Structure 1
C-alpha cells in the first residue's frame, strides 16, 4: 500500500523536479558533478549541512529515519492509586471551598507537587482531571454544589435506596412507580424558529403571553395514568404558576382524578412543593406564641418548667419534634400507596420533566394562528405514547445508577482521605495535649459526636 507523502516530502520532490528541468533546458549539469553534497542541496533546496546530517543518520541507521522529537521522553509520570486520585480531586474542591479561588492547571500544579509529591507534567495533570470527570467549560449554576450538601445528599441516598430496592424485587412483587408534577403553558406558546420566506411569513409571536394554563398529570413506565390529566386556566399573571396550585386544588386532583385511576398500590413520586407537603402534626416555630408552644408541649407529654422563656421552649420543641406526617401521604396511604419525595434540586430524577418537553413541542408545532391552546394541549398529551414514557424512565434509571455508583465511591474515598489526613496531621503538641488527661481525650470524642449530631439534625429537619 502506498504511503501518503507529507507536505515536506512534496516540497523536496518539487525542488528536485525544478532542478532537473533547469538542467534539461540548459542542456548541461549546472553544478560540479563531483560535489555530491552540493548537488543534493541544490536539488532538494536544503543546506549542505542539513544534507550531511541526514546522510550521517542514514549511514548510522542503515537508511532508517525517525521524526525528530517523536520519541522524546517527557517528565516521569507518577503511578497514581485511588487515594492519590481522590486527593487531587479534594485539592480542586479545596480551591473552591477554602481558598475561594478558581483552580487552573497553572496554580493547581505547584500545590499538588508540594502537598502530594506529584511529579508529572502539567499536561499529565490535565489528563488526570479529565479522568476524574472534570472538564474545563462554561460555568454552571450553583445546583451542583447544592446537591452535595450533607442534608441534600442524605435525602438523595434515602430516595435512591427506596427506588432501587423496589426495582430489584422480582417483577411480580415490584410496585409501579408513578411520577406526578405540575407545569404551565401560555396561549401564545409557539415555536421559536420556522421555515419562512418573503411570500410566506410563517408563525408570528404575540407580544402578550396571553392566558396561562396550569397542567397536572401523572404517569409511569407504562404511560400516562388514564383520565388523570387536569388543565385549568390561571388568573394570576404575575406570580409563579405554583401560586395557582394550592392545597385544595392539588388534594382535589389526587382524590378525584389520580386515586380512582390507579389500578394497584403504587409508589407515588412527587417533589417538595408546599402544597405537596402540608403537615398534619406541625410543631411550633419561632413565630408561634409562647402559649401555643406550651400547649403543644403539654399535648405531647413533654415536661417543662413554667419559668422557661421562648428560646428555651423552642429548644425543647426541636429536641422532641416528631417526624412530619404529610396530609397527602395520609390520603394516599389510606388507599395502599406509598409517597416518596424527590430530593431537593433533583428534577432530573423525574421522567415527567422530559415528557413536559415532548408535549410542549407538540403544542407549539400546531399553535398557528388562533388555535385553542387547551384543545392542542389535550391532543398533545394523547399523542404521547407508552414508548415515550419508557424511554424517559430508562434515561432516569441511568441517572439514578450514576448517582448511586458515584455516591458509593465518592463517600468511601472521602472517608479514607479524612482518616489519612487526620493521622498524618497529628503533631507532637497535639499528642502531648491529648495525653495530659482523660478529659482531653473525651473532649475530642465529644467534638466528633457533636458533629454527627449536627449532621443528623440537619438531615431530618423538616424545615429544610
Structure 2
C-alpha cells in the first residue's frame, strides 16, 4: 500500500517544482522539461512519477491540495425483513421461557449474526427492538395478584350475608334494598379527544365546562324513591364535587328527603365516602393533644394516672377503644332501617 502524501507535503513539492520551472524558464540552467521533474524529485526525495501526479493536481486545482480521507471497511448495509423480525421475537421469547435468562443486546447481537446472518452494531439492534415494540424497563415481580386487605373482605362478607338473609325471608317480610349515591354533571359537555394530524389541529377544547350540578338520589328495583332527588349548583370548580357534598349537606338530605319518603324499614346501601361514615364516638389518635386524650378517658369512665405521658395514655385508649358508632347508621336506625357500607 502506497503512502499518502498529505496536503501540506504536496503543496511544498508543488512549490519546489514551480521554483525549478522558474529557473528553467529564466535560462539559469540548461535542462529540458523532463530534467525539471527529475530535479524536483531529487530535491524532495520522492519518485518522479509522484512529482508529475502532484504537479498535475496543483495546476488543476490552482495550487490547492486536500488530504484524502481514510477508506474504512464498514459492515454491509442490510435491513431486517418481516421474517427476520419474527425470528428475532421468537429468540427473545426463547430466552425468557426456555433459558430463563435476560436477553441482553450483546446476546441478541450474537444470535442475529449467527442465526439470522444479520451483522449489526448494538445501537442498530437497540433501534430495531424499539421499532418493533420492545421497551427496556423495570423487570416484573411475582406479585401479580391484587392482595385484598382483610377488613375489606370482611365488609363484603357482611354485605353478602345481610342481602342473602333478606332474600331468604318470606315475601311479606322482605325489606326493600335502597341504593343511594352522588354524582355531578356540567351544563355543557366538551369532547376531550379528537382526530388530529400535523396539519390539522382539530377542535379547541374550552377550558370552562359551564356550571356543575351535583345530584343526589336513591332508588331500588322498584324505581327511584319519590321526592328524593336533590340537585344543586356547585360553586367550587377547582376541586372534586365531594368538597361541596359534605357531611352537613348529606345529613340534611337524609333527614329531609330520604327518611320522610321511606315508609317501611329498608336496607340502605351506600359506599364508604367520608361523609357517609362520620364516627360519633371517635377515639383520640397520636395527633390529639394530651388534654383531649384525658377528656376522652374521663367521658368513657376509664381510670388513669394524671401523671402519665402521651404514649401511655394512647395505650389506654387502644385497650379501651369501643367499636365505631356512625352518625348516619344511628340516624337511619332510629327509623328501623339497616345500613350497609360497600367498601371500594
TM-score calculated relative to the size of structure 1: 0.40
Q: Work out the number of aligned pairs and report it.
A: 202
1:106 paired residue among 89, 97, 106: 97
Checking the alignment, whether the CA contact within 8 Å between 2:184 and 2:215 is kept in structure 1 is yes
Match in the other structure for 1:164 = 164
> Residue 323 of structure 1: CA displacement?
1.2
- Structure showing greater radius of gyration is 2
Match in the other structure for 2:80 = none
Cα RMSD for the two superposed structures = 3.1
- Name the CA shift for 1:107/1:330 in 2 (closer, same or farther; >3 Å): farther
Match in the other structure for 1:176 = 176
> Residue 214 of structure 1: CA displacement?
0.4
CA–CA distance in structure 1, aligned partners of residues 99 and 315 of structure 2: 45
Higher RCO, Cα 8 Å, sep 6+: 1
- Name the CA shift for 1:170/1:191 in 2 (closer, same or farther; >3 Å): farther
Checking the alignment, whether the CA contact within 8 Å between 2:179 and 2:218 is kept in structure 1 is yes
| 3-state SS, counterpart of residue 145 of structure 1 | coil
Q: Where does 1:281-360 land on structure 2 (aligned, <5 Å)?
A: 281-343=281-343, 345=344
More helix by share: 1
Does the alignment pair 1:237 with 2:228? no
> Residue 170 of structure 1: CA displacement?
1.8
> Residue 213 of structure 1: CA displacement?
0.7
CA–CA distance in structure 2, aligned partners of residues 258 and 173 of structure 1: 21
> Residue 145 of structure 1: CA displacement?
2.2
- Name the CA shift for 1:105/1:166 in 2 (closer, same or farther; >3 Å): farther
Which deviations, in whole Å up to 9, do the C-alpha atoms of 1:125-149 show, x marking residues without a partner?
xxxxxxxxxxxxxx9xx9x726x22
Checking the alignment, whether the CA contact within 8 Å between 1:293 and 1:314 is kept in structure 2 is yes
Checking the alignment, whether the CA contact within 8 Å between 1:284 and 1:296 is kept in structure 2 is yes
Q: Where does 1:430-449 land on structure 2 (aligned, <5 Å)?
A: none
CA–CA distance in structure 2, aligned partners of residues 282 and 107 of structure 1: 57
CA–CA distance in structure 2, aligned partners of residues 222 and 320 of structure 1: 44
Which deviations, in whole Å up to 9, do the C-alpha atoms of 1:148-190 show, x marking residues without a partner?
2222112211221112221222222111110000000111126
Structure 1: where are the runs of 5+ without partners?
1-103, 111-138, 195-202, 346-464
Match in the other structure for 2:210 = 210
> Residue 307 of structure 1: CA displacement?
2.8
Structure 2: where are the runs of 5+ without partners?
1-94, 102-139, 195-202
> Residue 192 of structure 1: CA displacement?
7.8
Which deviations, in whole Å up to 9, do the C-alpha atoms of 1:322-364 show, x marking residues without a partner?
1111111121111111111112x2xxxxxxxxxxxxxxxxxxx
| 3-state SS, counterpart of residue 239 of structure 1 | coil
TM-score calculated relative to the size of structure 2: 0.53
CA–CA distance in structure 1, aligned partners of residues 151 and 306 of structure 2: 34
